[in-house]
Amino acid sequence: MKSSKLYLLFNTLDEKERKLFKAFVRTSFAKTTDKAIELCDFLCENAESGKGKEPSKEKAYKVLFGKGPYNDSSVRLLMSDLLKGLNRFLAIIALQQNPEFEQLMTLRQWGERGLEQYFFREVKKSREKFTKSGEIQSPLFGYLLESEVIRYRDQNPRSLPSHFQNAVDALDQWYILEKIKFACTMVNNSAVLDTEVDIPLLKEISRHIEAMGNGNSPLILIYFRILKMLQDPGSPQQYTLFKNLLLEYAGNLPEEESRDIYTLAQNYCIRQINRGRGEFLEELFLIYESLLERGLLLENGALSPWHVKNITAVALRLKKFDWTAKFLEEKIEFVAPQFRQNAQTYNLAKLYFQKGEYSEVKKLLLQVEYEDVFYNLDSKSMLLKIYFEEGEDVALDALCRSFLAYIKRNKLISEAHRTVYRNLVRYVQRLNRLDGLGKKQLSDMLEEVESNSAVSDSSWLKRMIRIRISS
């Protein structure tokens, strides 16, 4: 079964999904044969054994058909049959995860079964939910809802005439929203890749949105503000307008839209920080706080260790030590068990380092050898700075040699990262040798570091040189 679509897709199911699929294939909805059901049981047993080894088609044939010469076409037919059942199962899961579309399909069944009174009663409820509920919904649902009404009336000529205007208005809202969202993504990417953006009808759509004002849906208004903000990154007014809108509607936005909006806002803030606008560091922190409060950083209930690392880094740059300690204490349990210990140790070490509690940093870092490259590089950098600042020359010399060896031999380190960390180590070695020597040499070194953009922790390194110069 090596690299078969069936096995690759089946292998993405978790334990709960496998049990549900095992039950599903035994129903008439799955439209699977008895032998395909046996194949499903075989795959489930293989997964539950914990071996994690991909079974061969020959082994599957032996289990399903017993003795006799292997017949590849028989196994392939069963695999194809079971794959169709698995696709139906996943489609049902997707439908359950999108209640609006499940509601639309239910409406269609009411109509096709001739229950007009109940069909329009459900339409009315859906319209009211769409227009009056607290949560801001995508115009797409409104368009599809009105399309179902038109579809029903086209099939039932004696029914009341269709109100096409509702469908047309919803379609326009959906098109405009999607166009603006694509524009935001393209403008955002163009800033990273330094490419030009050509979006047909964008000027006309922008004029229409501005003319409509508050007649637009909140989602259109928010994405339009993001677009203006990205197009004019130097304008504080554009960010303020966006932020005010987000504060007004944040609690009512759908989760998926919230994630996309906050991601665009994060990228904008990071770009502003990189341009030297330090006030956006606080804005980035506030975005992370909002994401945490709403649980939007959780994926299947788990918090990525990289989110923990990034949030900790931002909070520490703002000297929010108490907040960081509380964050690590409360949120580390949401990190998957296999990553939790390393995430906790590393980020606590960062906290203690920023607080100047170097003995605590050494206790944490000297007991862990991280498998992850970036944890390893950052941890060694922390120890390097501590040994230098505390004048532990023997330990510093040993670490510099082992650090350079690690950088050289580890194949997972990119050339860019290899360069910046190698430069840090070598500058630290040179600076340590210059201790007690003339200020001219130190000044020359400072000038060299300032002109070299490929140095990790360059702000710390420049500070150490200036301290030596002034002493």
> What DSSP assignment string belongs to 85-132?
HHHHHHHHHHHHT-HHHHHHHHHHHHHHTT-HHHHHHHHHHHHHHHHH
- Return d(Cα 5, Cα 28) in angstroms, integer: 23
User: Per the domain annotation, does 24 fall within a domain?
Assistant: yes
In total, how many domains does the chain have? 3
User: Per the domain annotation, does 157 fall within a domain?
Assistant: yes
Q: What is the pLDDT of residues 30-83, one digit of tens each?
A: 888 899 999 999 998 888 876 557 788 888 888 888 877 888 888 899 999 999
User: Per the domain annotation, does 82 fall within a domain?
Assistant: yes
Q: Which pLDDT score is estimated for 436?
A: 61
User: Per the domain annotation, does 464 fall within a domain?
Assistant: yes
Q: What is the pLDDT of residues 260-272, one digit of tens each?
A: 999 999 989 988 8
| 466 and 377 inside one domain | yes
Q: Which pLDDT score is estimated for 194?
A: 59
| 70 and 87 inside one domain | yes
Helix, strand, coil in percent for the chain, rounding step 5: 75, 0, 25
Q: Which helix (H) or strand (E) holds 303?
A: strand 302-303
Q: Which pLDDT score is estimated for 173?
A: 87
Q: Which pLDDT score is estimated for 220?
A: 92
* Domain end position, chosen among 96, 121, 136: 96
- Cβ neighbours, 10 Å, residue 68: 8
CA-based R_g, the chain, Å: 30
Contact 179, 171 (CB under 8 A): no
| 437 and 461 inside one domain | yes
Q: Which pLDDT score is estimated for 166?
A: 77
State percent of the chain over pLDDT 70. Answer: 93
| 449 and 395 inside one domain | yes
* Domain end position, chosen among 52, 79, 96: 96
Q: Which pLDDT score is estimated for 377?
A: 92
Q: How far is CA 262 from the centre of its chain?
A: 11
Structural domain for 133, as ranges: 103-162
| 81 and 132 inside one domain | no
- pLDDT confidence tier of residue 469, bands split at 50, 70 and 90: confident
* Domain end position, chosen among 162, 179, 202: 162
Collapsing DSSP to helix, strand or coil, 22 comes out as helix
Q: Kindly report the pTM of this predicted structure.
A: 0.73
- Of 360, 334, 357, whose CA–CA distance to 345 is shortest? 360
User: Per the domain annotation, does 121 fall within a domain?
Assistant: yes
| 59 and 74 inside one domain | yes
What is the arithmetic mean of pLDDT over 383-398?
Answer: 95
| 117 and 86 inside one domain | no
| 76 and 147 inside one domain | no
Q: Which pLDDT score is estimated for 135?
A: 59
Q: What is the pLDDT of residues 140-189, one digit of tens each?
A: 888 888 888 888 777 776 655 556 777 888 888 889 999 999 999 888 88
User: Per the domain annotation, does 282 fall within a domain?
Assistant: no
| 131 and 112 inside one domain | yes
Q: Which of 40-49, 396-405, 461-470 has the highest mean pLDDT?
A: 396-405
- pLDDT confidence tier of residue 327, bands split at 50, 70 and 90: very high
| 71 and 112 inside one domain | no
Structure-block tokens of residue 21: 């699929």
| 53 and 68 inside one domain | yes
| 462 and 378 inside one domain | yes
User: Per the domain annotation, does 399 fall within a domain?
Assistant: yes
User: Per the domain annotation, does 360 fall within a domain?
Assistant: no
Contact 71, 32 (CB under 8 A): no
